[in-house]
């Protein structure tokens, strides 16, 4: 019988790569996309289309109620989203407090409910500096908790924990993935802005892989 697995799937390029990697590895996938009150739903629409195309079980979960408690992030409040590289200090405003712990807890509960023993999650080393809940010590601690929090142990699988977005993209390009089916920009306009931390990191990954991002950008001439 095919092994079930849950994938936390935002619709961004990291989770897009992991979804396809797990799909090609033969798992029966159950994708979870969370609406936590982020500024736009464009990523969610991309996620919906990809799952429909691949025939993957997909649930979009509305947890926008938590936005009442998490107003310090520029992703979930009226605060303007900063521009620049993730290495810049102003990017800390994009941290949503405890977000990944919340999402992982829900995904683990869902995995137990459907009889899955793995949850795929897109933490990677490029996020370590700015996002505490993407760091290896957090992931390892959550993995330990996931094994004892229920009668059925669940493993948190992070294929790219020791890689960065450049390595993730390299792997995805080797799989022949079309990254025009992913959306990373923090802004939900017709074109990606090319200036937010997420866009800057994505474009850098394409440049260092000697590839062209198929998404249209406002910064293009």
pLDDT in tens, 12-38: 999 999 999 999 999 999 999 999 877
Residue 221: predicted pLDDT:
56
Residue 36: predicted pLDDT:
81
Q: Which of 14, 8, 9 has the alpha carbon at shortest distance from 126?
A: 14
Q: Which of 38, 32, 29 has the alpha carbon at shortest distance from 60?
A: 32
> What's the pLDDT band for 188 if we cut at 50, 70, 90?
confident
Residue 68: predicted pLDDT:
74
Residue 41: predicted pLDDT:
87
Q: Does the pLDDT value for residue 101 go beyond 60?
A: yes
* pLDDT tens per residue, range 129-142: 667 777 888 899 99
Q: What are the distances in angstroms from CA 98 to CA 18, 25, 34, 132, 187?
A: 22, 30, 14, 9, 22
Q: Does the pLDDT value for residue 87 go beyond 70?
A: no
Q: Does the pLDDT value for residue 74 go beyond 50?
A: no
Higher pLDDT, 31 or 41: 31
* pLDDT tens per residue, range 140-185: 999 999 999 999 999 999 999 989 899 999 999 999 999 999 999 9
Distance CA 124, CA 105 (A): 19
Q: Which residues pair with 31 in a beta bridge?
A: 7, 58
Distance CA 167, CA 81 (A): 26
Give the percent of the chain with pLDDT over 70: 84
Full set of structural domains in the chain with CATH: 4-82+90-183 (3.40.50.620)
Residues 6+ positions from 140 with CB-CB distance below 8 Å: none
Distance CA 83, CA 195 (A): 5
Q: Which residues pair with 201 in a beta bridge?
A: none
Higher pLDDT, 116 or 164: 116
Residue 46: predicted pLDDT:
96
Report the chain's mean pLDDT, rounded to a whole number. Answer: 87
> What's the pLDDT band for 77 if we cut at 50, 70, 90?
very low
């Amino acid at each position: 019988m095919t092994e079930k697995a849950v994938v936390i799937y935002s619709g961004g390029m990291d989770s897009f790569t992991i979804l396809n990697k797990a799909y090609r590895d033969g798992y029966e996938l159950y994708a979870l996309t969370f609406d936590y009150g982020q500024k736009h739903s464009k990523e969610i629409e991309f996620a919906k289309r990809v799952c429909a195309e691949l025939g993957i079980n997909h649930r979009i979960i509305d947890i926008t109620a938590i936005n009442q408690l998490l107003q310090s992030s520029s992703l979930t409040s009226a605060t303007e989203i900063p521009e620049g590289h993730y290495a810049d200090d102003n990017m800390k405003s994009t941290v949503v407090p405890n977000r990944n712990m919340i999402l992982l807890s829900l995904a683990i509960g869902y995995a137990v409910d459907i009889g899955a023993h793995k949850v795929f999650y897109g933490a990677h080393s490029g996020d370590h500096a700015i996002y505490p809940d993407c760091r290896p010590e957090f992931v390892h601690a959550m993995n330990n908790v996931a094994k004892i929090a229920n009668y059925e142990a669940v493993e948190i699988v992070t294929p790219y924990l020791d890689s960065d977005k450049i390595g993730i993209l390299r792997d995805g390009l080797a799989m022949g993935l079309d990254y025009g089916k992913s959306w990373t920009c923090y802004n939900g306009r017709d074109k990606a802005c090319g200036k937010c931390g997420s866009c800057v990191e994505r474009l850098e990954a394409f440049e260092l892989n000697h590839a062209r991002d198929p998404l249209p950008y406002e910064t293009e001439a």
